Copies of this chain bind each other. A is one copy, B any other.
Amino acid sequence: MNWSGLPPLNSLRAFVAVAETGSYIKAGAVLNVTHAAVGQQVRTLEERLSVSLVVREGRGIRLTKEGMALARDLESGFSIIHRGVENLMESSVTHPVQLSTSPAFATEWLMPRIQDFQSKYPDIPLMLNPTSKVVELKPGGIEIAIRYQDKRKVTSPVTPVLISDMVVIAAPSLIGGQEINHPATLTGLPWLQELGTNEVTDWFSHRGVKLDRPLMISQMPGNLIMQAVRRGDGVTYTARAFFEAEIQSGEMKVLFSEPAFGIYYIVTSPGPLRASVKVFLNWLKEQSSIDSSSTLDS
Contact = CB atoms under 8 A, between A and B. Distances in A.
A88 B64 contact: no
Interface string A12-38: 110011001000000000111000000
A74 B82 CA distance: 9
A31 B12 CA distance: 17
Given A81-B12, A82-B1, A273 B50 contact: yes
Chain A contact surface mostly: helix
Contacts of A4: 32
Interface stretch (A65-73, A110-118, A155-163, A281-289): A65-73
A101 B16 CA distance: 36
A72 B178 CA distance: 70
Nearest to A46: B272
Given A55-B138, A274-B51, A275-B50, A87 B69 contact: yes
B82 A6 contact: yes
A29 B20 CA distance: 35
A1 B86 CA distance: 12
- What class of interface size applies to chain A in its complex with B? 35 or more
A80 B7 CA distance: 14
Contacts of A272: 46-47, 49-52
Contact of A73 (B3, B49, B87): B87
B1 A88 contact: no
A137 to B, nearest CB: 11
A149 interface: no
Given A51-B272, A55-B271, A85 B6 contact: yes
A10 B9 contact: yes
Contact of A78 (B13, B65, B81, B82): B81
A50 B91 CA distance: 12
A5 interface: yes
A138 B85 CA distance: 40
Interface string A266-295: 000101111100100000000000000000
Given A50-B275, A52-B139, A5 B76 contact: no
A75 interface: yes
